Amino acid sequence: MGHDGVHIQFNPDNRVFWAHHTTLHQMEEADIDEAYQRAYRFLSERVKVLVEEHKWKEIDFGSRQLLLSMTKAGFINRFTLPPTFYPFLNLSEYSEWKKQFENGIFAIETRRSPTDLKDIYIGGPRPLSDIFYMLQCIAPGMLILTCKMGEDVLGELEWSRALPPCAWVEDHDLMLRHILGSNQAYDDLLRVSRDEERAFSLSWIEEDMDDRCSTCSTAVEDDWDETASKQEWSKVPAIDGRMCGSSCVGCPRCDI
């Protein structure tokens, strides 16, 4: 759930775009899992703080850590951490993780700075923000923060952040060097986290009837190219939908 108009997006496939955008080396899945294993002690300590200080309840859920908390409105927050990183990448579990990160953790406070509207971050509780930021460091692009910067009838500007604030990266210097596996990997992460043009992305999202045209998702673009090739969209003349004379309020291609 978003606060201040800021939302979380979960999509492991976005790692490809962000590896290119940030210039950070995209680790192989096995290397990501090794980093996750090295981070597991830190993640477990954060879970312990949620239980002891924030009154979350940990219950037996097989090999995973399952945490529950009750909100003031009576909702139950449900949060799980797998023992390895691979479940995050498992397509059959995609909807489960998407629901957890985008809709399920009502307790996570996504924030937008009142003095700098481009500064979007996790406001708390601190243990959850630490877990979120650690996952961002291990697999940049899998979890991003987004907010709208402006919109009209043709589309909207979306501001996205794929890395933790540089202050958080600096505060966890020694631990991140160990978890990421090298001083170079940490130095690269710190450099990019300080670079607003790399750590953030501004995208124009077009409004479309079938929701296929989006500049922020390489997967959508690839699907669209394939469809366009099969249906030979290149042979169709460009049409300005705003000039369409039809009163059907439908697709501008209706007159083709």
Query: What pTM, to 2 d.p., does this model score?
Result: 0.74
- Min mean pLDDT across 115-119, 143-147, 156-160 is at 115-119
Please indicate whether residue 164 or residue 5 has the higher confidence score (pLDDT).
Answer: 164
E strand or H helix at 221: helix 218-231
CA-wise closest residue to 119 among 166, 72, 152, 188: 166
Q: 199: buried, middle or exposed (CB in 10 Å: 19+, 13-18, 0-12)?
A: buried
Give the pair of three-digit tokens for residue 99: 């629901």
Task: Work out the mean pLDDT of the chain and round it to a whole number.
Answer: 78
CA-wise closest residue to 51 among 114, 128, 119, 110: 128
Cα-atom radius of gyration of the chain, to the nearest Å? 21
Interval 201-255: pLDDT, tens = 988 776 664 554 444 443 333 333 433 333 433 333 433 434 444 444 444 334 4
Q: Return the biggest CA–CA distance within the chain.
A: 64
